[in-house]
Amino acid sequence: MENIAQKQQKVITRFAPSPTGFLHIGGARTGLFNYLFAKQNGGIMILRIEDTDRERSKKEYENSIFEGLSWLGIKYDEFYYRQSERTALYQRHIEKMIEKGTAYISKEDGRDGKRSEVIRFKNPKTKISFEDIIRGKIEFDVSELGDFVIAKDIESPLYHLAVVVDDFEMGVTHIIRGEDGISNTPRQILIQEAIGAPRPRYAHIPLILAPDRSKLSKRHGAVSLLEFRDKGFVAPAIVNFLALLGWHPKDESEILSMSDLIAQFSLPDVQKGGAVFNMDKLRWINREYLERMSEVVFSEHAERFMPEDIKNAEGYSLKTLNKLRPLLLERISTFGDIRELAERGELLYFFSQPLYEKETLFWKGEGNPDSVREILRALSGMLDKIPPEEFGEEYIKQKIFPFAEEKGKGSVLWPMRVALSGLPKSPDPFTLAAFFGKDETLRRLAVAEKKL
């Protein structure tokens, strides 16, 4: 039996998360694979919230599914279902099954000693095999499953029944889900056959493993999708990274946009073995995306991660932030890294005069105030001669370097750098001077001179 959608051969996939936890990285990848496969075949993807477990299902978890998918740009063709709202439909199918003798009501002693009724599937005890798009032929002897329970009563279907009825009613043609779904497949195929549903194609995608090849879990760090957003990863990088968890393009390229993925993704080429989650790779990919971001978008993101004390600093503005972009890019892989830089005190000085002890100005802790003051004064004199519009890194270096070579590089460049950053470690003084521009550079050198 085929329904209309299948007759038209339209690909229909579904992403069917259970809202019993925050949408995690593995769930998001399953959603992505369903989306890519649907899109590349001109089909649609349905979002189905599998909340038959009423006790463990929570609204906040469901929200994390909507929010996570929308953040990643995985669109579910405008409709979604909640299993808890479809009990009448399941009931009709259970009644039909009982009528046809493929299911029966069984009176049983419960654990509490009370007699109750459950609905069991009448197992035909055959062998079942199916062709998995990724794994090839998979065979099961279903007799050992016995007459398994499909509903607690007519109104309370259990998970397998609801899944099969939904896949049927929604015309799902391809079931793409995690490898942990393999063991569910024989029961689901049995129910399909009992209700006369056509068999969809299956593709079971590999588990995501931690670097030690154990199953990825919370103890390995962030696993919830939105946590990655909160740590300053950007959505296209996560999409890119997720796609490479178990699949890679033929030409081995690593930076792929959603539309590249729709064009190139190949379900049959997904690997069978577990896909190892590599944080360094994710950070590398994320950085690639930061580099490709326009200045405006970069600054908008960066600003969200700037601590208040920096945003309140006198010299803080979107313009300075834009100017800082190349320097930031050398130091961060995620926007969250901005917070760490700030905590280590490596950001504030870009926006306000740094506070430091005069001893920091002494190269290797040596030197006397007089000689350092003289050097700073000479530097100011040379810098003052550079026209403001020429005040770039190369030009400054050209002018200062011969002097530094003459007096000793450390003795000149160290105090110059400390005068600008206030720190024993920071970018080189030419970069800093160019960043601050002529006026601010001269001002900071004067402050240093006064300290001595």
What are the catalytic residues? 218
> Among the candidate windows 11-19, 109-117, 328-336, 353-361, which touches ligand GLU by CB under 6 A?
11-19
**Residue 93 and residue 99 in contact, taking contact as beta carbons nearer than 8 Å:** no
Select 138 or 327, whichever has its Cβ closest to ligand GLU: 138
Assigned token pair, 105? 């009501």
Assigned token pair, 435? 């960043």
Select 16 or 258, whichever has its Cβ closest to ligand GLU: 16
Partner residues linked to 12 by β-bridges: 44
Instruction: Label residues 385-396 b or e (16+ Cβ within 10 Å = b).
Output: ebeeeebeeebb
> Among the candidate windows 12-20, 396-404, 419-427, 443-451, which touches ligand GLU by CB under 6 A?
12-20
Q: Closest Cα partner for 427 from 389, 388, 384, 396?
A: 396
Q: Closest Cα partner for 245 from 32, 445, 2, 412?
A: 32
**Residue 112: CB minimum distance to ligand GLU, A:** 29
**Residue 209 and residue 276 in contact, taking contact as beta carbons nearer than 8 Å:** yes
Helices assigned H by DSSP within 312-368: 318-329, 336-343
> Among the candidate windows 16-24, 189-197, 375-383, 420-428, which touches ligand GLU by CB under 6 A?
16-24
Residues 162-201 that bind ligand GLU (CB under 6 A): 163, 177, 181
Judged by CB under 6 A, does residue 19 bind ligand GLU?
Answer: no
The full DSSP string for 235-288 is: HHHHHHHHHTSS---TT------HHHHHHH--GGGS-SS-EE--HHHHHHHHHH
Select 163 or 165, whichever has its Cβ closest to ligand GLU: 163
**Residue 15: CB minimum distance to ligand GLU, A:** 8
- Rounded to whole angstroms, the Cα distance separating 12 from 306 reads 43
- Rounded to whole angstroms, the Cα distance separating 192 from 203 reads 17
**Residue 316: CB minimum distance to ligand GLU, A:** 45
Candidates 11, 12, 13, 18: give the one binding ligand GLU (CB under 6 A).
18
Residues 32-51 that bind ligand GLU (CB under 6 A): 50
Binding mask 125-164 for ligand GLU (x = CB under 6 A): --------------------------------------x-
> Among the candidate windows 14-22, 208-216, 341-349, 367-375, which touches ligand GLU by CB under 6 A?
14-22
Binding mask 237-276 for ligand GLU (x = CB under 6 A): ----------------------------------------
Number of Cα atoms under 13 Å in the Cβ half of residue 122: 12
Select 93 or 177, whichever has its Cβ closest to ligand GLU: 177
Fill in the amino acid letter for 29: R
Judged by CB under 6 A, does residue 216 bind ligand GLU?
Answer: no
Binding site for ligand GLU (CB under 6 A): 16-18, 50, 163, 177, 181
